[in-house]
Amino acid sequence: MMTTHDGKGMGKLSSRPTAVIPSFRALLSLLLILGAPLRSVFAQQSQKDFAPLEKAALDELRETNTPGAAVAVVSGDRIVYVKGFGVSNVETGTPVEPAMLFRTGSVGKMFTAALLTSLAEEGKIKLDEPIGNYIRGLSPKLSQVTSHQLLSGTAGLIDGEPLYGPQDESALAKTVRSWNDDIFFLEPGKLYSYSNLGFIIAGLVAEEIGSKSYADLMSERIFAPLGMKSTTFRPTMAMTRPLSQGHDSDSNSKPVVHRPFVESTPSWPAGFMYSNVYDLARFAIAFMNGGKIDGRQVLSPAVIGMMSTPHADILGENPSGWPRNGKYGYGLIIQNFRGVRMVWHGGSIAGFGAMFVMAPQQRFAVIILCNKTARWMFQTAEKAMEIMLPLEAEVEAPPKQSLPMGAAEKANYVGKYMRPGTERPETAEIFLKEDQLYLRAYGFEQPITKIGVNSFSVTVPGLRGAWIFKLLPGATGKADYLFLSLGVMKRVRDSK
């Protein structure tokens, strides 16, 4: 959830450009990365005024108490804007440079999806076959799940991921084979529910099919062909390059360095990747240009098509509008935003947050890497879109009419709901107070308004707009499933 604060205790934000008025060293670095002539870089940059983007980034960093971020904007087959803001370490005051590595969180899921779909495109695996056909030693129910279900979030798995765990890369296989059928809480293939476990398992599928470690496969099949020279999963490689520290803080406290870095090799396929905006921009360029970059075909158009095809409905929504009426492809969220079709994914891991947004038809992308836990810079991303895209005017939607609910209907919704997790469950409760339904979840308690069939909203202080959620009936006809944001919570027992 998004919070605001007055920015007290935060160091002065740096806004030194590295692209709009490049230094010779930064420009030379950019040219080497892009393989572009000098006049091309200046021509691209001179077409747009990025001052509003810089203001949005600085404002959002202050408002969210985030030490620093790196931002890159892609148009066509070029980076047209790249810049570091703020500091990479509050203890040293070192400015953020765009070449710095950040942890990218779940942005890495699209890379796991690209790896596994590339193996499928080559005929080495069928995504609709049980993964037990390719991996031995799995629990009975897990062996029947398909790669399609893993990549589309429809495998019915609980969420969670080991944050601190083994450092041996063989631990991916050992961990997945240690899981039993308790990791399921929904029937596979029926409902979308976000799960890190699904991508961890998908990483092992790729490992088994490719007969190499996950990290080596990713490097050889994705990173190296794309020219993503700095991207890695291995901490001992990341620490040899410029690296931002991650930070924690609430809305009022001074940010502090997150110690220690989270690290668990089994979790690498779900979101432990290190990268920078330059490397991520290369993936975006290839993705939006039919798989080509620098005149070479490095991704199959079939892989791009599989990843960006809607495979499941996302029934929950966020007050930010990201996602709203969204679909899930393979490692990508698909939605229309102000008249433009976007494919994107956010990332969050201890100390870091990330956004990776593409508008393939317009060949536009914006990539934002932050050094604070769970920080997604929606306002900055939207400002980049406003500068570069033909967005429809933002019109404040009129409040949806409140629909009446009778006593029997209200009683149908009352109950406790839970999504199990490997570390801790996510819980919510719907209860009656003075004949008014309330939702208690994620630290807030707010009255519920019915706005449509199975559709409801709550207004949470500090959040942008209403938080829309759904309640769907199960086999008994009683509300059994609560859809909040990307996850599903299942009724565990009725309130008394």
pLDDT(324) > 70: yes
What per-residue confidence (pLDDT) applies to 195? 95
pLDDT(198) > 90: yes
User: CA-based angle 311:487:188, to the nearest 5?
Assistant: 55
Cα–Cα distance list, 267 to 152, 256, 376 (Å): 18, 24, 21
What per-residue confidence (pLDDT) applies to 249? 87
The lowest-confidence range among 40-54, 262-276, 343-357, 463-477 is 40-54
Please check whether residue 401 lies inside any domain of the structure.
no
**Based on the domain organization, do 121 and 223 belong to the same domain?**
yes
**Based on the domain organization, do 433 and 482 belong to the same domain?**
yes
pLDDT tens digits, residue range 90-133? 999 999 999 999 999 999 999 999 999 999 999 999 999 999 99
| Structure tokens that stand for 496 in this block | 């008394």
Length of the chain: 496
Please check whether residue 47 lies inside any domain of the structure.
yes
**Based on the domain organization, do 109 and 78 belong to the same domain?**
yes
What per-residue confidence (pLDDT) applies to 169? 96
The lowest-confidence range among 5-19, 111-125, 161-175 is 5-19
* Domain of residue 235, residue span: 1-395
What per-residue confidence (pLDDT) applies to 489? 94
364, 395, 426 — which closes off a domain? 395
pLDDT(254) > 50: yes
**Based on the domain organization, do 422 and 284 belong to the same domain?**
no
What per-residue confidence (pLDDT) applies to 493? 63
What per-residue confidence (pLDDT) applies to 375? 87
**Based on the domain organization, do 328 and 416 belong to the same domain?**
no
Q: What is the DSSP letter of 299?
A: S
SS3 67: coil
Burial of 311-321, coded b for 16+ CB within 10 Å and e otherwise, reads bbebbbbbbbb
The whole-angstrom separation of Cα 496 and Cα 493 is 9
**Based on the domain organization, do 457 and 381 belong to the same domain?**
no
What per-residue confidence (pLDDT) applies to 494? 53
pLDDT(341) > 80: yes
pLDDT(16) > 60: no
pLDDT(28) > 50: no
The lowest-confidence range among 2-16, 160-174, 305-319 is 2-16
**Based on the domain organization, do 386 and 414 belong to the same domain?**
no
How many domains in the chain?
Answer: 2
**Based on the domain organization, do 224 and 257 belong to the same domain?**
yes
pLDDT(283) > 50: yes
In 10 A of CB 50, how many CB atoms?
22
Backbone angles phi, psi at 366, to 5 degrees: -130, 135
Of the candidates 163, 367, 353, the residue with the CA atom closest to the CA atom of residue 255: 353
SS3 3: coil
355, 373, 395 — which closes off a domain? 395
Secondary structure (DSSP) of 35-53: T--HHHHHHHHHTS--HHH
Q: Residue 423 is part of a domain; what is its CATH number? A: 2.40.128.50
Question: Of 42-56, 396-410, 446-460, which one has max mean pLDDT?
Answer: 446-460
Secondary structure (DSSP) of 107-148: GGHHHHHHHHHHHHHTTS--TTSBGGGT-SS--HHHHT-BHH
pLDDT(46) > 70: no
The helix (H) or strand (E) run that includes residue 386 is helix 378-388
Q: Residue 354 is part of a domain; what is its CATH number? A: 3.40.710.10
What pLDDT band is residue 321 in, cutting at 50, 70 and 90? low
pLDDT tens digits, residue range 207-225? 999 999 999 999 999 999 9
**Based on the domain organization, do 334 and 460 belong to the same domain?**
no
Of the candidates 26, 29, 75, 84, the residue with the CA atom closest to the CA atom of residue 54: 84
The whole-angstrom separation of Cα 407 and Cα 138 is 47
Please check whether residue 423 lies inside any domain of the structure.
yes
pLDDT(277) > 90: yes
**Based on the domain organization, do 179 and 209 belong to the same domain?**
yes
pLDDT(477) > 90: no
The whole-angstrom separation of Cα 248 and Cα 348 is 12
pLDDT(25) > 80: no
Please, where are the H alpha helices in 165-320? 171-178, 196-210, 214-218, 224-226, 235-238, 268-271, 277-288, 301-307
What per-residue confidence (pLDDT) applies to 397? 65
Please check whether residue 128 lies inside any domain of the structure.
yes
- Which residues are registered as beta bridge partners of 390? none
Q: How much of the chain is in helix, strand and coil states, percent to nearest 5?
A: 30, 25, 45
Contact 271, 105 (CB under 8 A): yes
What per-residue confidence (pLDDT) applies to 251? 66
| Amino acid identity at 368 | I
365, 395, 425 — which closes off a domain? 395
Please check whether residue 249 lies inside any domain of the structure.
yes
The whole-angstrom separation of Cα 121 and Cα 124 is 8
What pLDDT band is residue 319 in, cutting at 50, 70 and 90? low
Contact 332, 152 (CB under 8 A): no
- Which residues are registered as beta bridge partners of 433? 436
**What stretches of 371-425 adopt beta strand conformation (E)?**
415-419
Contact 67, 371 (CB under 8 A): yes
Cα–Cα distance list, 53 to 60, 366, 476 (Å): 10, 11, 51
Tell me which of 496 and 59 has the higher pLDDT. 59
pLDDT tens digits, residue range 404-430? 999 999 999 999 999 988 777 889 999
**Based on the domain organization, do 261 and 359 belong to the same domain?**
yes
Burial of 467-495, coded b for 16+ CB within 10 Å and e otherwise, reads bbbbbeeeeeeebbbbbbbbbbbbbeeee
Q: Is 92 exposed, middle or buried (0-12, 13-18, 19+ CB in 10 A)?
A: exposed
Average of per-residue pLDDT across 298-313: 97
Please check whether residue 358 lies inside any domain of the structure.
yes
Of the candidates 429, 425, 465, 456, the residue with the CA atom closest to the CA atom of residue 444: 429
Please check whether residue 418 lies inside any domain of the structure.
yes
Cα–Cα distance list, 446 to 137, 490, 496 (Å): 46, 20, 20
**Based on the domain organization, do 8 and 108 belong to the same domain?**
yes
Of the candidates 283, 141, 147, 265, the residue with the CA atom closest to the CA atom of residue 208: 147
Please check whether residue 366 lies inside any domain of the structure.
yes
